């Protein structure tokens, strides 16, 4: 999956020791959408932190996987980025709606209900 938007927050780096050694996780908050902006928090792990450095206010396209895990009857969802492309200068990263189709302004001709037979008094 992919999403394009602007980095609005860089959260503190988290690290720890696991059974496979030391791990690092950097989380970012990305804002996307024009009229009603939405935010999504995604993370980069270990070597990808150094591979894709990002700063606040950068326009990026993030490729990610969504995964949920169950723990004590509750589900926890993570958005893990595996690729980040920075927007090129002059490139428009926001979504553009398709162009509107021209409207046919020809008014249809209404049928003539006033016939020679005016004996019908019903209004419909």
Domains present along the chain, CATH in parentheses: 2-86 (2.40.50.140)
| Residue 9 pLDDT level (bands cut at 50, 70, 90) | very high
pLDDT of residue 93: 44
Average pLDDT over residues 101-110: 60
pTM of this prediction? 0.66
List Cα–Cα distances, 118 to 33, 114, 122, 123, 124, in angstroms.
Answer: 60, 7, 10, 12, 13
Residue 98 phi/psi, 5° resolution?
-65, 150
What is the predicted pLDDT for the residue at 57? 92
Phi and psi angles of residue 50, each rounded to the nearest 5 degrees, phi first: -75, -30
- The total of other beta-carbon atoms located within 10 Å of residue 39's CB is 12
Contact at 8 Å (CB) between 39 and 27?
no
pLDDT band at 34 (very low <50, low <70, confident <90, very high): confident
- pLDDT-based confidence at 74, cuts 50/70/90? very high
């Amino acid at each position: 999956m992919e999403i394009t938007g602007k980095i609005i927050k860089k959260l503190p780096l988290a690290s720890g020791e696991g059974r496979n050694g030391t791990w690092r996780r950097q989380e970012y908050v990305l804002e996307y959408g024009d009229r009603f902006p939405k935010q999504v928090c995604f993370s980069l792990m270990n070597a990808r932190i150094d591979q894709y450095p990002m700063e606040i206010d950068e326009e990026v396209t993030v490729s990610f996987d969504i995964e949920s895990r169950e723990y004590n009857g509750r589900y926890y969802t993570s958005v893990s980025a595996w690729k980040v492309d920075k927007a090129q200068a002059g490139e428009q990263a926001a979504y553009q709606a398709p162009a509107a189709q021209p409207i046919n302004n020809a008014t249809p001709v209404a049928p003539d209900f006033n016939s020679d037979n005016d004996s019908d008094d019903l209004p419909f």
